[in-house]
Structure 1
Amino acid sequence: MNKLLSYISLSAIVLLTAGCSDDEPKSEHKGLTGYVIEANYEKKALLVAESDKTAKVGNYDAEWYSLNDDAILHDSKNNTVLLTDIEVGSEVETWSTSRSFESYPSKTDLSKLVVADDVKHPDSPMLQKKAIQAALSHAKSISDTAAILIVQNVTTSKSEWIIQVFNSYSEKSYEFTVNAVTGEVKQIK
């Protein structure tokens, strides 16, 4: 009886110890697909927000991603990129191994990120991310409060980028044109 009790006790301890172990491989799950809205290279963090392409109508998720030590950063051709290569305005897909903290924007780790190829204006050498940077900078300058800015949509006309930006705190939408040659920003809505 004593041997049986010892065996049961030892089995219970082994099972409890194994069940509480942190050595389990973490499962990776898909995060947000959207635009980098802010980058803090010192803290190794990126703020990514959904656009109209991926968001549920009127509900734009935004998430601060802190890089894991073993985070994988690639471009669309599977080439390794540096964190500093990922600029505000870059379109990205993200993956994480931890749950998001309940806040807006939420916070989680970044285990993998893929940067989409940057789009060039059809009639000018200006890249889409540069136009987004200009529009976000202008939106911040006209905002009376700190805000999470969402790039809702990006299109082109003959000589301009047309960028729709949503201020998540004031719930105002703006539409800007960015001259694809000079970089001049005008608010049209």
Structure 2
Amino acid sequence: MRKITPILIITIIAFSGFSYAQDSPKAVVEKYLEAVRNNNYDTAYSYISKTDTTIIDWLELIKYVRKITPPKLTEVIDLAHSAVQQEIVDTSIRDTTAFVKTQSIIPDMEETLRVTQDPEGIKFLLQHGGLPVKEKPGECTLVVEDGSWKISKVRGVSSDQAAEIATDFAELILGKDEAKIIREKINEFMRKREGGI
């Protein structure tokens, strides 16, 4: 009986470690970022903790904006997503919490839209390396949930911020009147989500 107990403990530890090694915090963050870049939100949700609301609100808002905006604006948003380059720069684990630091090179859309508001013009800049970019550090916090690493927080993610960016883009690309309609729809959508409707 004395020999069985240590073997059982070692076996439990080995299997626990194996489950984390299969889907490390770094791998989870990489898969999540790739899903968001590809507008694959159902996949992105699978990497998010059940305790989170901020990231879910942000993803739901992006989905909604894509649904209500004209193709010209959606195309610009897609181009901006496709141009993002992200790198994991550091991972640290403390018991059942992990911190994954990222460094992103993202399109500076404010600068880009000063140059051109035409999706074809943005595509040209993207293909020929002329798209203005900026660097942005980030950090994901992960927790162990049901035996897997899940993202519980992403520094910098805010549905309010996403709404502001979307309406700014709308104004630059579509004009003030159409941007006002989109802003009203977004505000109504966010009110409903906050009210749990």
Q: Which has the higher strand share?
A: 1
Q: Fold conserved (TM > 0.5)?
A: no
Question: Rg bigger for which structure?
Answer: 1
TM-score by length of 1: 0.29
Hey, which of these two has a bigger chunk of helix by percent?
Answer: 2
